[in-house]
Amino acid sequence: MGVLQPAAQEKTGKIKNSRTSDTVMEFIMYVIAAVFLLILIYPLFFIVIASFSDPSAVAGGQVWLFPKGFTLDGYKELLRHDNIWTGYRNTILYTVIGTVIGLAVNISAAYALSRKDLTGRKYISLYFIFTMFFNGGLIPTFLTIRDFQLYDTFLVMVLPFSVGVYNIIVARTFFQTSIPGDLWEAAQIDGCGNLRYFARVVLPLSKAIVAVLGLWIAVGYWNSYFNALIYLKNPDMYPLQLILRNILITNQMQSGMGTGEAAQIALRLANMMRYSVIIVATVPIMCVYPFVQKYFNQGVMIGAVKE
């Protein structure tokens, strides 16, 4: 089977051109690129160094390139908050299970839709695509979820919104362009049915699209708070993002505190924690993506463009 692997061709370099206008253009371009990089990286870098710095130095504008008054107090404070850890656990559960369900549902539907000999293909596609442009809206969807007794359950976090039409379109295009049709004919002659062909032949050839969609879906689950906000009531089931919202944005830590020195310290710790909590919540997902990035070319690019 190895021979049939879709060849990921790197584009060969363009012909060099040594004219001065080109050199000038190149120079300007790299300057713009450098400035752009700085604007992207610096705020992220700042959060990292601020999380290790004395908060009064951060607030006083003394932290620019290196941490000032190195401290781990923000992280220590974080360790004491149990709800962050239950949130972490919940998010991991939702992400892993949601991604498995999402991949299974979307990849298999996409493959079926990629087959030209699927009778009614056009109408089935339309059935899915229509939901991209028209939907019941918040309240009718909420009522539906409640009617199905899914409100405040584990299932509501991983099942109802697992069909991603955009994902299906991208994967469908991938299958159309990179799985040769002759393969199916050959398999058929050998007496192989659709399901076995899909599992044994198509999937092993489609690691790129599985990796890319898996990343998209996982990032979606890892980062989502809206469904939890609407469909969950029990705080023990809250995902990390909902807990982060309370710490970072609505600032519940600070409310209900008295004045005086104790309150000052509490406020200080809460402020420190805001930096470290950002790091702790973001680093895991950032760690995954470089591993999947190498598939972007094969996966997204083929999938998205030749629509």
Partner 1 sequence: MKSGHRRPGRTWGQIKRNWGLYALLFPAAVLTLLFAYKPMYGVLIAFKDYSPALGITDSPWAGFKYFEKFFHSYQFSSTIKNTLIISVYSLITFPIPVMLALMVNQMRPNRFRRFFQTVSYMPHFISTVVMVGLMMILLSPSTGLVGNLYSLFGKEAPDLMGSAGWFSSVYVWSDVWQHVGWDSIIFIAALSAVDPSLYEAATVDGASRWHKVRYIDIPMLMPTAITLLILRVGGLLGVGFEKVYLMQNDLNATSSEILSTYVYKIGLLSSQYSFSSAINLFNTVINFILLIMVNQISKKLSENSLW
User: Shortest Cβ distance from residue 242 to partner 1 (Å)?
Assistant: 8
Cβ-based burial of 113 (10 A; exposed 0-12, middle 13-18, buried ≥19): buried
Binders of partner 1 in range 269-298 (CB under 8 A):
271, 274-275, 278, 281-282, 285-286, 289-290, 293, 296-297
Write the binding mask 12 to 41 for partner 1: x where contact by CB under 8 A, - elsewhere: xxxx-x-x-xx--xx--xx-xx--xx-xxx
248 binds partner 1 (CB under 8 A): yes
Name the segment binding partner 1 (CB under 8 A); options: 74-82, 100-108, 171-179, 262-270: 100-108
Tell me if 94 sits within 8 A of 159, measured CB to CB: no
Closer of 3 and 129 to partner 1 (Cβ): 129
Selected from 180, 226, 235, 263, the binder of partner 1 by CB under 8 A is 226
Hey, what are 41's tokens?
A: 């990286």
71 binds partner 1 (CB under 8 A): no
Sequence-separated contacts (24+) of 140-146 with Cβ below 8 Å: 142/230, 142/231, 145/231
90 binds partner 1 (CB under 8 A): no
Selected from 48, 92, 97, 118, the binder of partner 1 by CB under 8 A is 118
Closer of 86 and 108 to partner 1 (Cβ): 108
134 binds partner 1 (CB under 8 A): yes
User: Shortest Cβ distance from residue 135 to partner 1 (Å)?
Assistant: 6
How many amino acids of this chain bind partner 1 (CB under 8 A)?
A: 103
Closer of 41 and 263 to partner 1 (Cβ): 41
105 binds partner 1 (CB under 8 A): yes
234 binds partner 1 (CB under 8 A): no
User: Shortest Cβ distance from residue 91 to partner 1 (Å)?
Assistant: 10
